Amino acid sequence: MKILFNTYPMAFHTPGGGEIQLSSYQKYLSEHDISVGLFDQWNPSFFDFDLVHFFSCISGSLPFCAFVKSLGIPLIISPNLWITKKTKHLYPVEEIRNQLLQSNRIVVNSDMEADVLCEVFNLPRDWFTTIYNAVDNLFFESINPALFREQFNITAPFILNVGNIEPRKNQLNLIRAMKEFPELKLVMIGHQRDPDYAKACFVEAGEQLHYIEPLAHDSELLRSAYAACEVFVLPSTLETPGLAALEAAAAGARVVVTSEGSAREYFGDLVDYVEPDDLKSIVKGIKSARTRNNTLAGQIYLRANFTWERVTAHLANVYRELQTGQVAATKKDGFYPVEKDPEGHLNLWSSRRIEFEWEPGRLSFLWRSVSGATVDIIINGDRVLKGIDVSEEWTSFTLEFIARQGQNTAQIIFEITPNAEIPGDDPRQLGVAFRDISFKPSHLLISLLE
């Protein structure tokens, strides 16, 4: 199957999350037998493709989408847009609605985004399909935080912000909130998308700011920055949810993100949320994040839910549905958004199946179910443990595993069978909860054995 990608002409002048999403789709769809071509206005070749996927609803996008529809080629639109009834006066609503009306399917980054867009634009809810944003596996790899510090001569503890410098990213309010933390530096990495706004930021921040030009998305220095920071802060006026926040959490950073948008659908209680126009809220969020204990829960949660391989498999199914007219059967797998219990523990509630990659070693945790369940564990394709009982009380469990031959990680699958089908609307009742997760890599195990 061949898909044609396009976006607005200036998108890659100062690329951000939307452009990373487009490029990642192109990269990983090939693993699902989907060939992606990029639109060339000098050689459009529309009829060489089965479907067109357009990214963005920026003004001026309507004519292209309308032309695709006139050709009779199926069209998917990814609006990457968070707009509410309170903010719709800021957007060309009729133009955007007319663009969306050209589509055969609207792909959004969250169910929350679908809900607000169908309300604002008065569109049927079943026009929308959620394909979550994701993280490249390289952000899960261990990296030395000293690489970034040494490269840019940063010795003090610092708060990190990664993103285009523009009003939507709200760096100016972050800079003002940072006045409450004179002992910390603020490191900002990104394009100056709005030069006047960037200049105002630099003047306001003074010596507390260390600004760095954009780093390549696959740069070791970017990953090292996430690993080295005290807290990663993204207090934008809106996010759906912000790829940089996902990447920072994948790298193990403490994260503060805006409450405006769909971040909570991704992170749950894993991160701290702030009101973007409230400096006290931003200060409080940073203080709270600094006290969070380091935990592996977020990294396991992200590996099981939000990798590009996983989400592009769902996207490939959407393409095939439009081509064949047959709706593929879908089922929930992975974890539900992270929950914090009254004692402050982060709980990961599973669906009936979890799959993730992890380095070889010893993974230990507490787990429980609602009314009892049994679990099969599959390592690297082999069902190594079968019918493990998980009670209603928290009990400890340790799993040791090695990587596949020639690989750096092991594939781990948990298949859960509840002892009873419990009536109710909470799907967590059919899975198990994990907490207090710890890990010892294999080289540490070898040292202990020696």
pLDDT in tens, 112-139: 999 999 999 999 999 999 999 999 999 9
Is the residue at 324 inside a domain? no
Q: Give the residues across from 385 on adjacent strands.
A: 377
Is the residue at 325 inside a domain? no
Residues 166 and 282 occupy one common structural domain: yes
**Residue 203, amino acid:** V
Residues 112 and 208 occupy one common structural domain: no
Instruction: Give the per-residue pLDDT at 250.
Output: 94
User: 93 vs 8, 69, 96, 120, 372, CA distance in Å?
Assistant: 17, 20, 5, 9, 50
Residues 64 and 188 occupy one common structural domain: no
pLDDT range class, residue 294, cuts 50, 70, 90: low
Residues 7 and 79 occupy one common structural domain: yes
The domain containing residue 441 runs over which residues?
A: 332-449
Strand, helix or coil for residue 213: coil
Is the residue at 305 inside a domain? no
Strand, helix or coil for residue 108: strand
Sign of CA dihedral 179, 180, 185, 188: negative
Is the residue at 39 inside a domain? yes
Closest CA to 81 of 104, 99, 63: 99
434: CATH: 2.60.120.260
CA–CA separation, 32 vs 316, rounded Å?
7
- For helices 62-70 and 93-101, the axis angle rounded to 10 degrees is 20
Average pLDDT over residues 156-171: 96
CA–CA separation, 17 vs 55, rounded Å?
11
Instruction: Give the per-residue pLDDT at 444.
Output: 58
Residue ending a domain, choose from 130, 145, 172: 130
Instruction: Give the per-residue pLDDT at 405.
Output: 83
Residues 58 and 168 occupy one common structural domain: no
> Which residue reads 């969250």 in tokens?
110
Residues 283 and 231 occupy one common structural domain: yes
For 327-389, the DSSP string reads: PPP----SBPPPEE-TTS-EEEEB-SEEEEEE-SEEEEEEEEESS-EEEEEEETTEEEEEEEE
Average pLDDT over residues 226-250: 94
Average pLDDT over residues 225-230: 97
Residues 285 and 170 occupy one common structural domain: yes
180: CATH: 3.40.50.2000
Q: Give the residues across from 414 on adjacent strands.
A: 354, 377
Please report the beta strands in 41-84, taking only residues with DSSP state E, as ranges in sequence order: 51-55, 75-78
What dihedral do alpha carbons 327, 331, 334, 335 form, nearest 10°?
Answer: 110
Cα angle 184, 255, 183; round to 5: 10
Token pair, residue 393, equals 């009380």
pLDDT digits (tens, 9 = 90+) for 299-338: 999 999 999 999 999 999 999 999 888 776 666 789 999 9
Is the residue at 308 inside a domain? no
pLDDT range class, residue 404, cuts 50, 70, 90: confident
User: 212 vs 158, 298, 306, 357, 417, CA distance in Å?
Assistant: 13, 27, 28, 32, 50
Q: Beginning with the edge strand found earlier in the chain, give each strand of the sheet holding 105-108 in spatial order.
A: 35-38, 2-7, 51-55, 75-78, 105-108, 128-130
- In total, how many domains does the chain have? 3
Does residue 226 contact residue 247 with C-beta atoms inside 8 Å?
yes
CA–CA separation, 429 vs 433, rounded Å?
9
Token pair, residue 341, equals 């219990």
pLDDT exceeds 90 at position 392: yes
Is the residue at 318 inside a domain? no
Residues 367 and 234 occupy one common structural domain: no
HSE at residue 373, side-chain half, CA atoms within 13 A, is: 27
| Mean pLDDT of all residues belonging to the chain | 93
Residue ending a domain, choose from 130, 148, 166: 130
pLDDT exceeds 50 at position 347: yes
Instruction: Give the per-residue pLDDT at 221.
Output: 97
Residue ending a domain, choose from 105, 130, 155: 130
Closest CA to 209 of 220, 201, 200, 217: 201
Q: Give the residues across from 162 on adjacent strands.
A: 189
Is the residue at 153 inside a domain? yes
pLDDT digits (tens, 9 = 90+) for 12-37: 998 988 999 999 999 999 999 999 99
Q: Record the pTM.
A: 0.91
pLDDT exceeds 60 at position 448: no
pLDDT range class, residue 423, cuts 50, 70, 90: low
Instruction: Give the per-residue pLDDT at 425.
Output: 63
Average pLDDT over residues 47-65: 96
Residues 233 and 146 occupy one common structural domain: yes
Q: Helices (DSSP H) in 79-170: which residue ranges?
A: 93-101, 111-120, 146-152
Instruction: Give the per-residue pLDDT at 449.
Output: 43
pLDDT digits (tens, 9 = 90+) for 83-108: 988 899 999 999 999 999 999 999 99
Residues 119 and 162 occupy one common structural domain: no
pLDDT range class, residue 374, cuts 50, 70, 90: very high
Look at strands 382-390 and 373-379 and give their pairing: antiparallel
Residues 258 and 338 occupy one common structural domain: no
Instruction: Give the per-residue pLDDT at 443.
Output: 67
Gap between the terminal Cα atoms of the chain: 53
Is the residue at 321 inside a domain? no
Residues 74 and 146 occupy one common structural domain: no
